[in-house]
Amino acid sequence: MTQPVSGRFPLALLLLRVSVFLVMGMWSLDKFLHPDHASAVFQAFYGLGEIGTGLIYLVGAVQLVIILGFVAGFKKPLTYGLVLLMHGASTFVAFPRYLDPFTAPNLLFFAAWPMLASCFTLFWLRDLDTLWTVDRHPRNPLADGTKLR
């Protein structure tokens, strides 16, 4: 006997959440380990001038707090929403790269789109994301036997 669709959501959403966390975790760590690289990214993609190491560390710390809350499933509307906004901004700010995909390393930027879809999926289905989360939704919308159409 196979498990109903509603019972398969938690594991799938957990895997999405952990994989998004891994990527964003590397971005956060980069701000601490290579603040000059992070500063160059802010300058090249966001048009910001030279950013000092202290500000890069602050941005990294804020980002780290958000993604730790996200991976823990804490305050889902807030943390999942902020992760979606952060990744959405980084995806859309690189738009010129998508117009010239075969100039190195622009093809790598296309990996941002499935991750953005993952961030949206997690935000959209946050009430079903209950496996290993701090904040479990009080009532799983599919637990009452509601059929998926």
pLDDT reported for residue 148: 60
Considering the domain boundaries, does residue 62 fall inside one? Answer: yes
Considering the domain boundaries, does residue 137 fall inside one? Answer: no
Q: Is the pLDDT of residue 29 over 80?
A: yes
Considering the domain boundaries, does residue 141 fall inside one? Answer: no
Q: How many domains does the structure of the chain reveal? A: 1
Q: Is the pLDDT of residue 1 over 80?
A: no
Q: Concatenated DSSP letters for 1-30?
A: -PPPHHHHHHHHHHHHHHHHHHHHHHHHHH
Considering the domain boundaries, does residue 22 fall inside one? Answer: yes
Taking the alpha carbons of 1, 5, 72, 111 in that order, is the dihedral positive or negative? positive
Considering the domain boundaries, does residue 112 fall inside one? Answer: yes
Considering the domain boundaries, does residue 94 fall inside one? Answer: yes
> How high does pLDDT run on average in the chain?
92
pLDDT reported for residue 146: 61
> How many helices (DSSP H) and strands (DSSP E) are in the chain?
6, 0
CB 116 within 8 A of CB 88: yes
Q: What is the pLDDT of residues 43-81, one digit of tens each?
A: 999 998 889 999 999 999 999 999 999 999 999 999 999
**Whole domain around residue 18: which residue ranges?**
9-128
pLDDT reported for residue 32: 98
Q: What is the pLDDT of residues 116-148, one digit of tens each?
A: 999 999 999 999 999 999 987 645 556 555 666
Instruction: Report the distance separating Cα 56 and Cα 48, nearest Å.
Output: 12
Residue with tokens 């690289």: 37
